[in-house]
Structure 1
Amino acid sequence: MSYQTIQVRFQESICYIRFYRPEANNTINNTLIEECLHVLALCEESVTIVVLEGLPEVFCFGADFEGMREKVESGQEHAMSPEPMYDLWLKLATGPYITISHVRGKANAGGVGFIAASDIVIADETAQFSLSELLFGLFPACVLPFLVRRIGFQKAHYLTLMTQPVSVQQAHVWGVVDAYDAQSEMVLRKHLLRLRRLSKHGILRYKRFMDELNDLRQCKPLALASNQEVFSDAQNLKGIFRYVETGQFPWMD
């Protein structure tokens, strides 16, 4: 099938999903979420490994602020329901396949959500990770349940508060990244060679067991409500749209 925001290829039991919005810095919009959910539905029966990739310079940079501003200017409702995005990350975290994020370049905000929801994270030496939401009066409500599960409360708390990019070396120490190398394609290939030995049935049972140990669905109502609250705040939106138009952060005069 042809998609607008992603590139997809199947290789035996492996599905490769590449975020492809070069004109928008690989930001997340409704179409990207819908298309990813569609592909994951196709993966339910026979795919054992799903690999997420981005562009060489940017993996995924979070919410599409430019798209939000354009909707407001055209008189449309700007708010994007966070539920499909949360459900997408739930499928990555709990679905009957092993999910791998292969990260190169920048990963910010919702991009970190994809990473935190993945079973395995592989990166090259250019990878950087950040949660910039608090700079705009927001916070990563939907990301945090997945990130806390991956790296623990305090490290996720610190990453949220500081808002600054973290190098791949530091991300590896914290557990955001499982393995990295200048030649990350080689690292990915080695992982795939090993993981391809696992059966679909074994993966399904194991992922179901891990989901029971740490049920991300319990966090969903609070995460959705908090996300909608901060993205509907008029002062936050004013700062976001000024940033889109001028590149100035909310604290700059």
Structure 2
Amino acid sequence: MTGTSRGGAVTLSRGRGFLRAVMDRADRRNPIDPDLLDGLAAAVTAAEDDAACRVLVLSAHGEHFCSGTDLWEASVGEVPSGGTLPYWDLLERLTRTQVVTVALVDGHATAGGVGLAAACDLVLAGPRARFRLTEALVGLVPAMALPFVARRTGQQRAFYSTLLAEEIAAEEAVGTGIADAAGPDGEDLLRRHLVWLSRVDRATVSVLKEYRGRLFPQPEGLGNYAGEVFLELLADPRTRERFDRLRLRRAE
């Protein structure tokens, strides 16, 4: 790889025909916050602006691919009128951008981290990969992540996984649909896919993804509604009480 640049929550490096965005806060379990969202959005823009780039790879340093939103730090705001929240915007961009987006998950993807992976065109699971939607345990629902997870797994499996906060290990991930391929060496799995993806030109990818979007559209206004559901539950006093009890248990 060449051209590595570090800064903030995401480290970027370039290879032949691809850009790699590495979530780089292993000490904090790579949480979703404004810094991460900005860093990944900038990575999408950089990939789009590079005519030679065909693939954007998302991966992470440490034992956690992404731990989701830090709910104790999350602010309770409002969804812009008729608009969407930044997390939803990023998932939509990963789905629709003209480059192929690949999530290499070789650690824990939790809550919103599952949605981040699921929004990518391909999900590759290394041996340490674990996927778990945990929102229901604290009185939330994965309102923004669920449509992207369900697109992969089917709605009933996504519903089941949410209700039970089911942990899906690497060896099960392909069978559930949350991952497209798994292997004992995540980096080797990625290298092989980059070779295969290099055979498809960017224009073809762009048309294919646009067609997929028309063939399987999201309901109109879903992003706005998903943000409203998330913020409404986050502001609920009962949810805050669950957070406080969980914080106390962790401190004991």
TM over 0.5: yes
2:171 alignment partner in structure 1:
169
1:16 counterpart = 2:23:
no
1:86 counterpart = 2:88:
yes
2:98 alignment partner in structure 1:
96
| Structure-2 separation of matches of 1:129 and 1:87 | 22
Of 208, 211, 214, 2:210 maps to: 208
1:154 alignment partner in structure 2:
156
Structure 2 matches for 1:36-115, cutoff 5 A? 36-45=40-49, 46=51, 47-68=53-74, 77-79=75-77, 83-115=85-117
Contact 1:28 1:62 in 2 (8 A): yes
| Structure-2 separation of matches of 1:6 and 1:244 | 28
Please report how far the alpha carbon of residue 67 of structure 1 lies from its aligned counterpart in structure 2 after TM superposition. 2.8
* SS of 2:179 mapped into structure 1: coil
1:73 alignment partner in structure 2:
none
* SS of 1:7 mapped into structure 2: strand
Please report how far the alpha carbon of residue 102 of structure 1 lies from its aligned counterpart in structure 2 after TM superposition. 0.4
Unmatched segments (≥5 aa) in structure 1: 69-76, 249-253
Aligned residue pairs, count: 241
* Cα root mean square deviation, aligned: 2.0
Q: Name segments (4+ residues, structure 1) moved above 6 Å.
A: none
Contact 2:26 2:63 in 1 (8 A): no
Contact 1:125 1:180 in 2 (8 A): yes
Contact 2:125 2:173 in 1 (8 A): no
Encode CA deviations 1:143-163: one digit per residue, 9 max, x unaligned. 011111111111100100001
Please report how far the alpha carbon of residue 217 of structure 1 lies from its aligned counterpart in structure 2 after TM superposition. 6.2
Please report how far the alpha carbon of residue 191 of structure 1 lies from its aligned counterpart in structure 2 after TM superposition. 0.5
Measured at CA, do residues 4 and 242 of structure 1 come closer, stay the same or move farther in structure 2, by a change above 3 Å?
Answer: farther
2:39 alignment partner in structure 1:
35
Please report how far the alpha carbon of residue 240 of structure 1 lies from its aligned counterpart in structure 2 after TM superposition. 1.9
Please report how far the alpha carbon of residue 13 of structure 1 lies from its aligned counterpart in structure 2 after TM superposition. 2.3
| Structure-2 separation of matches of 1:54 and 1:136 | 26
| Structure-2 separation of matches of 1:124 and 1:2 | 24
- Which amino acid is the alignment partner of residue 152 of structure 1? G
Structure 1 stretch 164-173 or stretch 112-121: which is displaced more?
A: 164-173
Q: Which has the higher strand share?
A: 2
Percent of counterpart pairs with the same letter? 28
| Structure-1 separation of matches of 2:247 and 2:40 | 26
| Structure-1 separation of matches of 2:40 and 2:121 | 17
| Structure-2 separation of matches of 1:17 and 1:216 | 26
How does the TM-score come out when normalised to structure 2? Answer: 0.89
Measured at CA, do residues 142 and 3 of structure 1 come closer, stay the same or move farther in structure 2, by a change above 3 Å?
Answer: same
Contact 1:90 1:216 in 2 (8 A): no
| Structure-2 separation of matches of 1:194 and 1:99 | 14
Please report how far the alpha carbon of residue 204 of structure 1 lies from its aligned counterpart in structure 2 after TM superposition. 1.0
Contact 2:103 2:117 in 1 (8 A): yes
Please report how far the alpha carbon of residue 169 of structure 1 lies from its aligned counterpart in structure 2 after TM superposition. 1.9
- Which amino acid is the alignment partner of residue 205 of structure 1? V
